[in-house]
Amino acid sequence: MAEQKPAQDGKSEGEVRRIVVGLDTSFMGREVVALAARVAASVNAGLAGIFVEDENLLALSELPFVREISMTGSVGNVDHGAMLRSLQAQAQIARRILERTASEAHVACTFDIARGRKLKSLAERSTATDTLIIRAHEATTREVAHAVRAATRDVHADVLLAGRGVAVARSFAAKPQRPQAPVMLSPGFMASSERPLIGVDEGSSIGEACVGFAESLAERIGAPFRRLFARGFAAADLASAARKAGAGLIVINADALGDDEDAARLSVAAGCPVLLLGGEGTKELKES
């Protein structure tokens, strides 16, 4: 059930690049929507918000032996209808958050409701020209890995991943008022007190293209750009260099990470989101 505001250039949803984000009503969820809107504005994309009704929660509410304990300690039956109405009410709140945030960022937005497992549903509804934002705070490493694989390798979308404990509000942060002296990490790689956008060059032609895209993105959002030469680096090495640099965002070719769980580990260890480029939208974004 999708609804769409007209895109700024009058194109339909199918012709507009999208930043896809899962919606909820938590404070952290609102941060992610704000980040998604800023990314969409930076790359001239639309914003697609999806509220996922938890199928496991709804199935649980239909079991006759399940009981609900209130804040006062009273025990009662779980009302499936009330549960569904509560989810629908949350969806409408999430929709208003999405539309207000999109309006403030001057980007077009769409709203959709799905039912299933959150990360899996988001990956399934992404396309090769999308960038999917995954907030991993409430998911296991395995769930995150499956969603990243489905999005980058099956659907060929790009993924912006914030690992467990990573504060997305620090991404694309404003430059500090008093810059400090840069720190040398390795030949050709400098880190300043500003939170740089790091493009990972792992030595392949695709990696070189990803670095070019990263540099273009940094220019668009007004962030300092740093290239990290990482031929033969393991995820732990990348994370160490990125953390030392105070990275605000890491941009890397999705195929450069071997293990399905490497992306989640990299984001957590580096302390910042990771943009995994695996989709057809990357070339379009570079050329726009």
DSSP letters spanning 228-247: EE-TT--HHHHHHHHHHHT-
Rg of the chain over CA atoms, in angstroms?
20
Domain membership flag for residue 61: no
Domain membership flag for residue 226: yes
Could you tell me the CA-to-CA distances from 215 to 176, 251, 255 in Å, in that order? 20, 9, 19
Prediction pTM value: 0.76
Domain membership flag for residue 10: no
- In a 13 Å sphere around the CA of 82, the CA atoms on its Cβ side amount to 6
DSSP per residue over 85-124, as a string? HHHHHHHHHHHHHHHHHHHHHT--EEEEEEEE-HHHHHHH
pLDDT value at position 76?
53
Q: How many domains does the chain have?
A: 1
Task: List the CATH number of the domain containing 235.
Answer: 3.40.50
Domain membership flag for residue 147: no
| Mean pLDDT, each 10-residue run in order, the chain (288 residues) | 39 66 87 88 92 73 51 55 82 95 95 90 91 84 88 90 75 44 36 74 87 89 88 87 90 84 88 83 47
Which residue has tokens 């549903």?
121
Domain membership flag for residue 139: no
238 phi-psi bin (left φ>0, alpha ψ -120 to 50, beta other): alpha
SS3 of 222, please? Answer: coil
Structure tokens at 4: 């769409």
